[in-house]
Structure formats: C-alpha cells, structure tokens
Amino acid sequence: MHCLLLKILTVYILQEHIRCVTLSASPNYISAFVDINLICKIDESIANAAFVSFGRNSSLIGSVKCSRLYRNIRKYFPGQENFGSCNFGDGYCCDSMNNTVTWTYTPESTPKNDETFYCEVNGDNGLYSNSTTVRPAVLSSVIVSPSSTEYKITQGDTVENITCSAVCWPICTFQWIGQNYKNEGAELKLENITFSKSGRYQCQAKNSLRTDSSKYITIKVLYAPYDVQLSQNSTSFVVEENKHVLINCSADCRPQCEYQWTGQFNWSSSNKHLVIRYVKKADSGFYRCTARNSIGYQYSSYILVTVHSRPTKVKTIAAKSHGATTVSIAWIPDMSVVPRQNFTVQYKRRNNIDFTNMVFEEYANQQNIYLLYVISLTPSTEYVFKILSENYLGRTESTEVRFVTKAKPSAPIRTDLVGGISLISIAVLIFIITLLLVQRFLLSRQRSDTSTKGSRCISDGTTKPE
C-alpha cells in the first residue's frame, strides 16, 4: 500500500513542468578571490530538474544534480566527474524548500568588463535557462570638485559647494575628514567658519571592498589681527641716552599683517620692529604697535619708553645780595633730564682753594626757577659760586660766577636821642637869647641914668653962680 502511494506521488511530481528559471548573483559584483553565489531559482520543485548547469560568459562552470531520482546530490565540474557532493536539502547546493540551486564561484582576477553568468535547467519538458550580468568591482580615484587644492575663506563665512566623487561598484559612501572634523556625505560644508577650522581636509570613499581617499585640500581661514603682543612684557622700558631701543611686535593674522608704530606714517609687513638708534631724551614717551590686514586691524597695549640721560650743565646763574652777609643764588634747571638731577651750590672766597658745599633740597617748593640762600658771608668780599648737577649716570659743573658782598653799614641814628638833643639845643638857645635881651636892657637903662646927672651939674653951674 505504501509503495503504491509513493509511486503515485512520484508520478504526480514528475508531471509538474518547469516553466520559469531565474538567476541572481550575490554579491552583485565580481572581484578577484571574492566568492560569488550564483542562485538559480526554479518555479517548480527542483526534483523536476534532472540537471542544473552554470556558466560564465560562454564557458561552463559546472553542473548540479538535485533530482530525487538520484540517491545523492552531485556536483560536476568540466572535465571531472563526481567532484564534491552535498546532501539533499543543503542550502549551499540544493534547497528543496525554496527550490533553488546554488553554485559558488571564485574568480581568480577582477575583469575589466561586465561578466554574464547563466544557469540552465534540464527538466522533463526541456531546457530552461536564465542569465544575470555582474559588474566588476571598482573604486576609482576620488576626485574633488572644483579642482583647487587651496581655498581662502573669510572668518564667519560658509564653505560650501566643494564635493567629491568616484566611480564605485558597489556603491560608495563618502565622508569628509579633517582636524577634529568628520562629516558624512560627498559635500564639504563648514558654516560660520572660524580660524580654528583652518587645515587640511580629505574626502574618503568607501564600499564593501575597500576604502580610497582624495588628495588633500587646504582651507585657509582669513581673519583680522588678534593677540597683538610686544616683546617687552612690562608696560615700561628704560634706556640710557645714546643707546638703542628695540621692541618687537607680533600678531596672529591671515593674510599677513602690516605694522605701524606711534609717530610713523608708513605701513609695512617688515615694520614689526621698532628701532630707535642713539636714543635721545625727546624719544621718551608712549609707543604702541598697530597691526592690520585686509580683514581688519588691532592695537597692542602701550609701552612707556623712558630715556635716562646724564646731568646737564646749568647755563645761567643769578646772584643777588641781601644785606652784607647773605646772597641768593637762582638758576633754571633742565627739567627734561631723567632721573631728576640733584644740585649742590659750591662757594668760596676768591683766594681760597676749597669750596663749601650747600645741598639744594627744596624741590617741592620750586617751580621753574630754583632759589637757594647762602648766609653768613663776609661783607665786602668777593666770592666764587658754581652749581654741581648729578644723578646716577654722572655729574657736571656750571661755569663759575663771581660776586662781591655789600659793605657793612655804619651805626644807625637814634631818633629819640636826636629829638632830645634838639629840644635841649632849642632850650639853650632860648636861654642865651633871653640873657642877651636882659643884658641889653640893663645896659640901655644904665646909659639913661648917666645922662640925667650931668645936666644937673651943668645946670647948677650955670644958673646959680656964687
């Protein structure tokens, strides 16, 4: 009974005819030493396929027997018999569940052109075949468009419309790689770019076979100067007169900066060094550097250049007497000398050898004229005066000035005494005048008495004779 049912089922299966055969390749490219699975699918049971052959272009690769009429499934290669085997139901050869027959082909090289593979099914109702074309695997050189290798972009702008491409099979994916940058896609796009994005970028193409990269392109971000620095770290710089001043200015900028210093009118990329040769007092002051380019400009901080100079000779000395023992000495100092000069007035008698020093210390109370009093001098004496100027760089002396002190005045007259004497003199004069008047009065009276007595005698003698 069982044998009868089996025969009926076998006859029924064999009576189903093959009407359609399809062929696919996996992967869908051909590359040296990469296995390709050629999958031949039959629309009916593979048991109806007595023989399945696989070929490449016009050459036979091999054949497979998957029919249930055979106890074993066999793989046949051209020129060989019964080479290899697989059990029925093994998906690598014959898959009865999906009605597919698979042949694995390993090429020894990568062809330049497309390859055509086919499968041919020998069924009970004839031959059926199908084919598929497999492209050779390729990943050509990655090309960047535009072809420029360097781009200059102003800070804040956007980099766009730079793309890469390649002939790829299988299809490639693209990625842009740079310093601290990675972005998927064939277009390089950098929005609101900063100078930190300057650098080299490369496009990378990748498929299932390999990875290839483009040539590097360079992005140069243009930006205004910043971080303008002077070589002197402090805000002040001291230099002795007649020596040289050298201060360097540096700035980070792109494109290259031009430089200008305080007091200058020219701009130059080589003008980053401030050089003052044989510096003078007039060179003292504040200096700063300005850096500029086509994007903008930036200032450095100020630096104060102070020129220290040797003392200068006092040119004019004025002397004035204040009584017989005091002389004032006045002079105009050179206020441009730094550090400040210290002054000492030196004086002596003309015939003496050594000078006496008198240090001037009243700076705080002086304006443009310095004044010093020399006291305890000898009256009516010729003195020699000069002024010594000095600071830590040296000292210098003025020319000598000669001056004679005044004579000592006589004793002063006391007005009270003079007044008293005058009164006494007047009193004495009045007394003398009074005495003279009294004397004259007495004399005149005496004369009067004498003349009266004589006439009487005459009268008596004349009028009464005896």
| The pLDDT of residue 84 | 40
Q: Does the predicted TM-score (pTM) go above 0.75?
A: no
The CA distance from 21 to 11, in Å, is 22
CB 334 within 8 A of CB 312: yes
CA atoms of 424 and 57, how far apart (whole Å) = 171
State the pLDDT at residue 47.
74
* Residue 464, φ and ψ in degrees, nearest 5: -125, 80
Q: Identity (one letter) of the amino acid at 162?
A: I
Distance CA 118, CA 132 (A): 6
Residue 413 has pLDDT above 60, yes or no: no
Lowest mean pLDDT among 196-200, 222-226, 301-305, 444-448: 444-448
- In this structure, are residues 307 and 241 in contact, taking their beta carbons and an 8 Å threshold? yes
Helix, coil or strand: residue 436: helix
- The per-residue pLDDT for 43 is 85
Asked whether the predicted pLDDT for residue 414 surpasses 80, the reply is no
In this predicted model, what pLDDT tens digit does every residue of 221-274 receive, in sequence order? Answer: 999 999 999 997 788 989 999 999 999 999 999 999 999 999 999 999 999 999
Share of the chain above pLDDT 90, in %: 62
**Band (342; pLDDT cuts 50, 70, 90):** very high
All domains in the chain, ordered by first residue: 12-135 (2.60.40.10), 143-215 (2.60.40.10), 224-308 (2.60.40.10), 317-404 (2.60.40.10)
Least confident of 159-173, 221-235, 353-367, 368-382: 353-367
Predicted local confidence at residue 12, as pLDDT = 43
pLDDT confidence of 436, banded at 50, 70, 90? Answer: low
Q: How far is CA 58 from the centre of its chain?
A: 74
Q: Each residue of 301-319: pLDDT tens digit?
A: 999 999 999 999 999 999 9
